[in-house]
Structure 1
């Protein structure tokens, strides 16, 4: 039969075994399909299969006509079964049990799966007030910038307000005209682990993006690379073989096989193509040799170029010591240079301090400033010993004017001492996968100590922070005022990126003599948010000029990225 075509969130999925139509039901190879969907797969001998995605869990036994969906027993008209030594499961039942929607077009034999939206709103016009009640006169709980995502608690079609949840369980309301419901996005999670070791691909004048390095071979996405070069890719044979055509040549590959055919003649590949997350990946050298494409490699930028050079460069030249560009929604890396080199990071340390404060503290908690906190050198909110401030006010002082006194006051309030707080910082960093990071101070001061991180680790920490709407509320304001016994204090944001870059949403700048000038920046454009970590700038003006240029380039890379497309 003509093979079935399978699309997930608009992206065609390639599977190592052919989907099967049985009793008018589509059966798919379990593990390959579920992992491509972004679900977790479990197997308990002798016959129990489990799948988890989001808040949903499905479990079924091979050969049985009942299954469990979120703890409820439901009937199956076609059971899971072993076919050709593979476990096949009913696609519609499994997908809908995991919260996805399934469609089938019999004329084209096309199955479409749309993973359910994660129940979030995204702020598209801000700053946006989150209010205690659905009214413009209700008290403001917090204010969040453009790009913030909020979990939906309840919504009514046609209503003007939606109830949302803030971290910590606080419920609030937002006006719908300033938000949009987050739709389904391409599933990139199965590929991110493979990209831990990565190079970059340029093809057809585009930067296709980060590609995996496996056993010293650079693998490239077959479909996107060939199409960028002006060719085409289609299914062949029983649907598991894949045909790539370019310039009158046809290369027919089968995943997991190091033998292919070129214009009908058998040829050997340097390694078998991979099939990960439903995407076929092939060694770059094999694609170039067999389709007649030139290939070049740069050790300096770890970039492979297929076809003529030119167009969008993946790794632009910079004067700073290190950088990384990341898509905020998915965490996909867009570009980098020296991103894993340990460096001092100055006051961008305060991102972790603020994250712990919003995760572990209450914004209205009263903090008594110690003499130790009030005597901190460097940038300051000019706190006085014995002065009482709310945690919210200290966070404004921390993120807007980079107050070292505010950082220590927060640390002592949450952990009793700055040393104990630094241990919490390191523990949280490890939880976030920042394995090359060591915090010593809450402020980033490094005169007598040697804390360090990397651009990549700081990006991991900052991504977690950006996903917390309470953190966002402290990082983007041009100014804030905190009242006091000695008069009001006007706090002016020292981050020129936030003040000057169109669409900027955050995050934090810094400087010490050891670190040079540092910056974590985020910005929103055309429904996408990109984050930049830039370390080791030679001067303040050079740092910001480079940040503006790199952020512009980051949005171009996001549009061309094979993962995000």
Structure 2
């Protein structure tokens, strides 16, 4: 058994301190929240329509806007994150979470989805040339320092992505792995990989995690993506790399320089396995980190955090400590296996059309990155509902948001 209590992720507590939950669910006490400074941020995007079956992926107890932990365990630490999850990388058990299936904005932790998608596709020893399109990133956003026309091994670009969160590195890797469609093909492949992993609430618009219309994820989905990354020995090596030298480009008259891993968990947490940091004004601080202790490997994911009174990695470390303190077997759900949901959908007999409940149609509106052809419009809503009722439509949804 577990206890589930809603979070303060937008709901208004009643006079008793309870928070309204989903229709038909009893309200309960909010998640433990650390006091955070009031900050100015762009308007939050409207999330996609809620889909009950997506919120229950991994187990019905995870379908809560609030705290879900095993019964009788110590209360988790108070953090500023609006949602989080702790899971076992090996068994897939979900140890606990706060709004695990609540939509959030990913920022640079989306680069983990890029890694899960492109690491198997790209030869790390291949030398490639950085293009002008790769360098088209938001001014002032994180960059590793690659130069247009520079020639680098793909391994160097990966390390620039994972150590320094280089957005130009993300563009280059998405382009290189995207086939004839280039970067747009890379983003399309990321969304296909998210679907394969069971991350049904994740939709990428940019390869880097820079904010884009209709771009969302959840703490649960990030755990699925991180699990896929940490199953790759090459990723594990990159994630624990502390420094790397970016080579000089003599033909372009640029000198070489050294970069450092910006994930402080690597240096300050015993047993750290690495992870990824993220930040945009809209997403606030996001974090994914993993560590091993006592023969267990745990991962923590968090979205929407503020850096005071503790930075994102410190909040992650506190939640990892809490997870390691739980007895083995204490769980509230599980991480689904890659391909599991697709196989389940294929094996499920079609429901009679007259009694089926169609999924919400995707919001209509302009679509970015050349992906419009993958998403239904309002004019196709009836056809989409019929396909869904027949069990023939994969769970792909696109939604738009206001520009901030």
Pair in the same fold by TM > 0.5? yes
2:266 paired with 1:498: yes
- Aligned equivalents of 1:501, 1:455: Cα separation in 2: 21
Of residues 277, 301, 316 in structure 1, which corresponds to 2:67?
301
Residue 200 of structure 1 contacts residue 314 of structure 1 at CA under 8 Å; is this kept in 2?
A: no
Residue 324 of structure 1 contacts residue 459 of structure 1 at CA under 8 Å; is this kept in 2?
A: yes
Residue 288 of structure 2 contacts residue 316 of structure 2 at CA under 8 Å; is this kept in 1?
A: no
Of residues 230, 233, 237 in structure 2, which corresponds to 1:473?
237
Deviation at 1:338, TM superposition (A): 0.9
Deviation at 1:367, TM superposition (A): 1.8
- Aligned equivalents of 1:409, 1:442: Cα separation in 2: 9
Match of 1:388 in 2: 151
Deviation at 1:356, TM superposition (A): 2.0
Match of 1:335 in 2: 96
- Aligned equivalents of 2:65, 2:116: Cα separation in 1: 37
Residue 314 of structure 1 contacts residue 557 of structure 1 at CA under 8 Å; is this kept in 2?
A: no
Deviation at 1:549, TM superposition (A): 1.2
- Aligned equivalents of 1:321, 1:563: Cα separation in 2: 19
Q: Give me the TM-score of the superposition, normalised by structure 2.
A: 0.62
- Aligned equivalents of 2:235, 2:213: Cα separation in 1: 27
Once the two structures are superposed, residues 302-353 of structure 1 have per-residue CA deviations (whole angstroms, 9 ceiling, x without a partner) of: 5685xxxxx7325443221110000111110001001101110100010111
Match of 1:542 in 2: 311
Match of 1:433 in 2: 198
Residue 334 of structure 1 contacts residue 558 of structure 1 at CA under 8 Å; is this kept in 2?
A: no
Residue 301 of structure 1 contacts residue 315 of structure 1 at CA under 8 Å; is this kept in 2?
A: no
- Aligned equivalents of 1:304, 1:467: Cα separation in 2: 26
Give structure 1 regions of 4+ aligned residues with deviation exceeding 3 angstroms. Answer: 198-201, 298-305, 314-317
Residue 247 of structure 2 contacts residue 255 of structure 2 at CA under 8 Å; is this kept in 1?
A: yes
Residue 93 of structure 2 contacts residue 331 of structure 2 at CA under 8 Å; is this kept in 1?
A: no
The change in CA–CA distance for 1:382 and 1:525 in structure 2 (over 3 A counts) is: same
Residue 70 of structure 2 contacts residue 330 of structure 2 at CA under 8 Å; is this kept in 1?
A: no
TM-align CA RMSD: 2.6
- Aligned equivalents of 1:521, 1:535: Cα separation in 2: 12
Of residues 311, 322, 340 in structure 2, which corresponds to 1:553?
322
- Aligned equivalents of 1:437, 1:428: Cα separation in 2: 10
Residue 315 of structure 1 contacts residue 337 of structure 1 at CA under 8 Å; is this kept in 2?
A: no
Once the two structures are superposed, residues 12-31 of structure 1 have per-residue CA deviations (whole angstroms, 9 ceiling, x without a partner) of: xxxxxxxxxxxxxxxxxxxx
Match of 1:163 in 2: none
SS at match of 1:430: helix
Residue 519 of structure 1 contacts residue 533 of structure 1 at CA under 8 Å; is this kept in 2?
A: yes
Runs of 5+ consecutive residues of structure 1 not aligned to the other structure: 1-197, 202-214, 217-297, 306-310
Residue 204 of structure 2 contacts residue 216 of structure 2 at CA under 8 Å; is this kept in 1?
A: yes
The change in CA–CA distance for 1:533 and 1:563 in structure 2 (over 3 A counts) is: closer
Deviation at 1:449, TM superposition (A): 2.7
Show the 5 A alignment for 1:351-430. 351-377=112-138, 378-415=141-178, 416-430=181-195
Q: Give me the TM-score of the superposition, normalised by structure 1.
A: 0.45
Show the 5 A alignment for 1:114-193. none
- Aligned equivalents of 2:163, 2:325: Cα separation in 1: 29
Match of 1:451 in 2: 215
Match of 1:61 in 2: none
Deviation at 1:300, TM superposition (A): 5.3
- Aligned equivalents of 1:359, 1:464: Cα separation in 2: 11
SS at match of 1:474: helix
Deviation at 1:542, TM superposition (A): 3.3
SS at match of 1:450: coil
Show the 5 A alignment for 1:171-250. 199-200=2-3
Runs of 5+ consecutive residues of structure 2 not aligned to the other structure: 5-23, 26-63, 334-404
Higher RCO, 1 or 2 (CA under 8 Å, sep at least 6)?
2
- Aligned equivalents of 1:483, 1:375: Cα separation in 2: 21
Equivalent residue pairs, number: 268
Deviation at 1:484, TM superposition (A): 2.0
Deviation at 1:546, TM superposition (A): 1.6
Once the two structures are superposed, residues 501-520 of structure 1 have per-residue CA deviations (whole angstroms, 9 ceiling, x without a partner) of: 11111111110011110110
Deviation at 1:439, TM superposition (A): 0.3
The change in CA–CA distance for 1:556 and 1:375 in structure 2 (over 3 A counts) is: same
Larger radius of gyration: 1
Once the two structures are superposed, residues 477-499 of structure 1 have per-residue CA deviations (whole angstroms, 9 ceiling, x without a partner) of: 12111322222221111111222
Higher strand residue share: 1
- Aligned equivalents of 2:156, 2:232: Cα separation in 1: 18
Higher helix residue share: 2
